[in-house]
């Protein structure tokens, strides 16, 4: 684990630097407001070396917000992501939403500090897909497609032993509880959890959390499945009682939004994610009938 350094710049999104003998890569880069902290943390580790790659798990603002500033700092950098993310980051509306959410997050977490950037800087240079290997020299990163959170969320396996699990599998909180985040598909998320479990990695890095300790790691995948299933069953139960989406959202909020979660995620983000999960469950349920 000496070659993997947590360089997270601030609250809201984790970021890890992976150091090979020849190249260095960043896995996700967190939000825009804390890009300068992120860059100082990276420089402290790299000294005069350059940052060569950023591997992005998906194109949500809390995972790619710092991309333009990293490109400004290291102009030869290659931003690597899925084909779907490359497409998303060519769309005017998506770029606009990313910037709006980045500005909002800067107000909540970063005293309003937001440095304007050109949308041209926010793009994928190299498309990566399932099975690809990024060779850093003496160290390799394998790309795994693990959809469910988005259409093409990526996970990364470093040297066959450290798995950077994507949000499709869930997000762990400080107390060890796992929250589901299957925004586009429950069943794809379950497949993704099983895919990760089969790899049986020595270490798990949970998104928005970091390294899962040895005890929690034993139960991790099972917890992810139970958390997703509990949410799915709750939504379906209310739907079968005749509840509409808005009412399901309210009941869901009462049941699942505990104190700890309120500390870690703004209510708006919780509602937005829950709305997506309700739609995902109901869509899949209708298709099965």
Tell me the number of residues near Zn ion by CB under 5 A: 2
To Zn ion, the closest distance from the beta carbon of 185 in angstroms equals 14
**208 counts as binding Zn ion under rule CB under 5 A:** no
Nearer to Zn ion, 110 or 170 (CB): 170
Give just the sign of the alpha carbon dihedral 228, 232, 237, 242: positive
Q: Considering only CA atoms, which of 189, 179, 197 is closest in space to residue 281?
A: 189
Q: Which is nearer to Zn ion, 150 or 239 (CB)?
A: 150
Q: Which stretch binds Zn ion (CB under 5 A): 42-50, 56-64, 127-135, 239-247?
A: 56-64
d(CA 119, CA 96): 9
- Residue number, 23 or 86, with CB nearest to Zn ion: 86
DSSP state of 110: S
Cβ 45 to Zn ion, closest distance in Å? 26
| Helix (H) or strand (E) segment spanning residue 176 | none
The candidate with the shortest Cα–Cα distance to 140, out of 2, 272, 285, 21, is 21
CB nearer to Zn ion: give 60 or 232: 60
Residue owning tokens 């709305």: 275
From the CB of 149, what's the least distance to Zn ion, in Å?
Answer: 6
Q: What is the CA radius of gyration of the chain?
A: 19
Identify whether the C-beta of residue 64 lies closer than 8 Å to the C-beta of residue 94: no
Question: Which DSSP string do the residues of 61-109 spell out, in sequence order?
Answer: HHHHTTHHHHHHHSTT-EEEE-HHHHHHTT-HHHHHHHHHHHHHHHHHH
Site for Zn ion in 94-113 (CB under 5 A): none
Window 57-76: residues binding Zn ion (CB under 5 A): 60
Least distance in angstroms from the C-beta of 88 to Zn ion: 12
Nearer to Zn ion, 154 or 281 (CB): 154
CA of 235: how far to CAs of 75, 90, 164, 284, in Å? 47, 34, 29, 12
**Measured from the CB of residue 67, what is the shortest distance to Zn ion in angstroms?**
15
Residue with tokens 């917000």: 65
The 126-165 site mask, x for binding Zn ion (CB under 5 A), equals ----------------------------------------
The least distance separating Zn ion from the CB of residue 264, rounded to whole angstroms, comes to 14
Nearest-CB residue for Zn ion: 60
Cβ nearer to Zn ion, comparing 145 with 167: 167
The pairing of strands 203-206 and 162-164 is parallel
**By C-beta, is 60 or 99 nearer to Zn ion?**
60
Please identify, among the stretches 53-61, 80-88, 223-231, 270-278, the one whose residues bind Zn ion according to the rule CB under 5 A: 53-61
Interacting residue ranges for Zn ion, rule: CB under 5 A? 60, 167
């Amino acid at each position: 684990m000496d070659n993997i350094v947590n360089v997270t710049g601030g609250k809201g999104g984790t970021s890890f630097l992976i150091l090979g003998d020849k190249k260095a890569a960043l896995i996700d880069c967190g939000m825009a407001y804390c890009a300068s902290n992120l860059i100082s943390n990276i420089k402290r580790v790299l000294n005069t070396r350059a940052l060569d790659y950023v591997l992005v798990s998906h194109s949500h603002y809390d995972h790619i917000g710092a991309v333009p500033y990293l490109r400004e700092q290291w102009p030869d950098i290659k931003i690597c992501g899925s084909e779907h993310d490359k497409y998303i980051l060519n769309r005017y509306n998506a770029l606009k939403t990313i910037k709006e959410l980045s500005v909002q997050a800067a107000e909540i977490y970063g005293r309003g500090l937001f440095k304007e950037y050109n949308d041209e800087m926010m793009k994928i240079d190299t498309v990566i897909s399932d099975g690809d290997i990024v060779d850093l020299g003496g160290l390799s990163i394998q790309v795994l497609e693990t959809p469910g959170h988005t259409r093409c969320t990526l996970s990364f396996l470093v040297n066959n032993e450290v798995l950077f699990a994507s949000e499709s599998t869930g997000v762990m909180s400080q107390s060890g509880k796992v929250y589901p985040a299957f925004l586009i598909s429950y069943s794809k998320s379950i497949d993704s959890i099983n895919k990760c479990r089969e790899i049986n990695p020595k270490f798990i890095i949970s998104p928005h959390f970091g390294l899962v300790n040895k005890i929690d790691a034993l139960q991790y995948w099972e917890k992810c499945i139970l958390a997703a299933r509990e949410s799915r069953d709750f939504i379906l139960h209310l739907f079968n009682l005749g509840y509409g989406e808005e009412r399901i959202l309210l009941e869901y909020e009462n049941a699942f939004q505990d104190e700890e979660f309120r500390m870690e995620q703004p209510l708006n983000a919780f509602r937005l994610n829950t709305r997506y999960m309700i739609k995902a469950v109901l869509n899949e349920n209708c298709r099965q009938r």
